[in-house]
Amino acid sequence: MRVTGEAERRASPRSASRSRPPQKACGVAARFPEALDRPLKSDYEFVILGAGCSGLSLCYYLLEEGVDAPILILDRKRTFEDDRTWCFWDVEPAPFTHLALKEWRSWDFASAGGSVTQTTDRYPYKYLAARDFYEYVLTRLAESPNVTVRLGEDVGDYTEENGEARVETSGGTLHSRYVFDGRGLPPGSPVFEEARRGALWVPQKFLGLRVRAGRAVFDPGRCTLMDFSVDQSRGLRFVYVLPTGEREALVENVYLSEAEVTPTEHRAEIRAYVKSTHGLASDEYEVLGEERGYIPMTDYAFPRRLGERIHNIGMLGGETRPSTGYTFLRIQRYCRTLAAAVASGVEPPKSHYPCRLDLLDSLFLRFVRERPEECPEVYRRMFAGVPPDHLVRFLTEKSTPLDEARLIRALPKAPFLKLAARALLERLPAMGP
- In the list 24, 84, 150, 366, the residue contacting ligand FAD (rule: CB under 6 A) is 84
Please state the closest distance from residue 256 (CB atom) to ligand FAD, in A.
14
Lateral strand order in the sheet of 125-129: 85-89, 125-129, 102-104
148, burial (CB in 10 Å: exposed 0-12, middle 13-18, buried 19+):
buried
Distance of CA 305 to the CA centre of its chain: 21
Please state the closest distance from residue 168 (CB atom) to ligand FAD, in A.
10
Any contact of residue 298 with ligand FAD (CB under 6 A)? no
Please state the closest distance from residue 425 (CB atom) to ligand FAD, in A.
32
Stretch that binds ligand FAD, among 179-187, 301-309, 357-365, 392-400 (CB under 6 A): 179-187
Please state the closest distance from residue 415 (CB atom) to ligand FAD, in A.
27
Specify whether the CB–CB gap between 336 and 319 falls below 8 A: no
Stretch that binds ligand FAD, among 61-69, 112-120, 291-299, 300-308 (CB under 6 A): 291-299
Angle between helix axes 401-410 and 355-370 (nearest 10 degrees) is 20
Specify whether the CB–CB gap between 384 and 111 falls below 8 A: no
Residue nearest to ligand FAD (CB): 52
- Comparison of 75 and 404: residue with beta carbon closer to ligand FAD: 75
Stretch that binds ligand FAD, among 102-110, 285-293, 343-351, 404-412 (CB under 6 A): 285-293
- In the list 77, 98, 166, 267, the residue contacting ligand FAD (rule: CB under 6 A) is 77
- Comparison of 88 and 238: residue with beta carbon closer to ligand FAD: 88
- In the list 44, 46, 61, 86, the residue contacting ligand FAD (rule: CB under 6 A) is 86
Tally of CB atoms within 10 A around 172: 10
Specify whether the CB–CB gap between 118 and 96 falls below 8 A: no
Exposure pattern of 197-209 as b/e (b: 16+ CB <10 Å)?
eebbbbbbbbbbb
Please state the closest distance from residue 412 (CB atom) to ligand FAD, in A.
27
Query: What is the CA angle 329-77-158, rounded to 5?
Result: 80
Residues that bind ligand FAD (CB under 6 A): 49-55, 74-77, 84-88, 154-155, 182-184, 291-293, 295, 314-316, 326-328, 331
